[in-house]
Amino acid sequence: VHKFGGSSLADASLYRTAAALVGDSTRTRVVVVSAMQGVTDSLIALLETARRGDAWQSAFDTLRERHATAAAALDTDGRFELQRALEREFDTLRRHLESIASNAPDAHLLAPGLPGFGEVLSSHLMHAALGGDATSWRRLDARDVLLVHAGEMGMAVDWNESRKRLADWRAKHGDGNVVITGFVARDAQGHATTLGRNGSDYSAAIFANLFDAEALTIWTDVDGVLSADPRLVPEAVCLPSMSYAEACELAYFGAKVLHPQTMAPVQERGIPLWIRNTKRPEAPGTLIAPDSGRDGAPVKGLSLVRDLAIVELVGNGMVGVP
């Protein structure tokens, strides 16, 4: 299973780069995609604009243009019917925005799934970059198989039902290679939803578990998990290996490179997780596995949680009060 983040999917040429990285293999490959870079932010802004009753059409057109430009480059002779597929998705998106703007009775049910449209659009682009229907690649909309509910730690997967739905999907579409939308899922009431910001990493881990993958590779824009956030600490170094638990701690406490829920689904099956750089595939990356690695350093990295304060309550009345 290979996952490409928005930072690796900013334009048509990057879709081609990503498709090449997945390579040829006799083994079944699964590619999980994020939205094009910045698209989720734009969709959330569109949603807020429509909710306020302000004009959202020009931002909508900008988003459509951006995808049409990428589609034109990835489907020069129209053989993948990519423009038509994208237009269908944009028609649905427009209808949802209209409902939200007019405060239609179903508006509150449409809003949670709306930020996920970027991943749906992106999956069409990636499917074309991989050669479309003429190849062994199929496109799977995760909303058709992934069932989730709100849990204590964020979105939790209904594993039995999702496994069953994926088996049904594979019985119908065959066991070939699959492009899957990250980030999106469906709730028990049948409404589209998302796994929360940065959730495509989590999607990839869930599908690695469901497909019982040999390995999961998360392709991003840095060489791997670094010893600190490179935007704050330019001299941070890439960690060659770490344990699932160490990666989980770093992610939970703010390292944006991984969504904190990513580790659990792969850890459960002992699936090795690689973090690698799309722009530097020659770099070895970080291996996240059951063992921490043998470099002996007790501290792997530092992370930062912003906008927190410690409140200290003092006074005689507080003595011994937990």
Nearer to ligand ADP, 7 or 57 (CB): 7
Sign (positive/negative) of CA torsion 112, 167, 259, 1?
negative
Interface residue with ligand ASP, options 15, 117, 137, 183 (CB under 6 A): 183
Q: Work out how close the CB of 301 gets to ligand ADP at its nearest, in angstroms, rounded to a whole number.
A: 6
Nearest approach, Cβ of residue 135 and ligand ASP (Å): 25
Contact 154, 195 (CB under 8 A): yes
* Closer residue to ligand ASP in complex, CB, 132/199: 199
Binding partner of 226, given ligand ASP, ligand ADP, Mg ion, none, CB within 5-8 angstroms per partner class: ligand ADP
Positive or negative: CA dihedral 176, 177, 181, 187: positive
Distance CA 46, CA 111 (A): 11
Site for ligand ADP in 289-318 (CB under 6 A): 301
Interatomic CA distance for residues 147 and 184, integer angstroms: 10
Residue 27 burial class via C-beta count within 10 angstroms: exposed 0-12, middle 13-18, buried 19 and up: exposed
In the complex, minimum distance from the CB of residue 39 to ligand ASP, in angstroms, rounded to a whole number: 7
Token output for 121 = 């659009």
Q: Which of 1, 6, 50, 86 binds ligand ASP (CB under 6 A)?
A: 6
Stretch that binds ligand ASP, among 21-29, 195-203, 211-219, 279-287 (CB under 6 A): 195-203
Examine residue 116 and tell whether it contacts ligand ADP (CB under 6 A). no
Minimal distance, residue 199 CB to Mg ion, in Å: 8
What single DSSP character describes residue 236? -
Q: Is 200 in the site for ligand ASP (CB under 6 A)?
A: yes
CB proximity list for 104: less than 8 A, separation 6 or greater: 98
**Residue in 198, 203, 241, 286 binding Mg ion, rule: CB under 5 A:** 198
Sign of CA dihedral 297, 298, 300, 302: negative
Binding mask 150-189 for Mg ion (x = CB under 5 A): ----------------------------------------
Q: How far is the CB of 198 from Mg ion (least distance, A)?
A: 4
The whole-angstrom separation of Cα 223 and Cα 221 is: 7
Cα–Cα distances in angstroms (integers) from residue 265 to residues 78, 100, 287, in the given order = 39, 35, 16
Phi then psi for residue 274, to 5 deg, are -105, 140
CA 28 to chain centre: 20
What is the rounded CA–CA span in Å between residue 52 and residue 136? 45
Nearest approach in angstroms of CB 182 to ligand ASP is: 6
Spell out, one character per residue from 24 to 63, where the chain touches Mg ion: x when CB under 5 A holds, - when not.
----------------------------------------
**Residue 287 near ligand ADP by CB under 6 A:** no
Interacting residue ranges for ligand ASP, rule: CB under 6 A: 5-6, 34-35, 40, 118, 182-183, 197-201
Interacting residue ranges for ligand ADP, rule: CB under 6 A: 5-8, 34, 198, 220-222, 225-226, 228-231, 255-257, 301
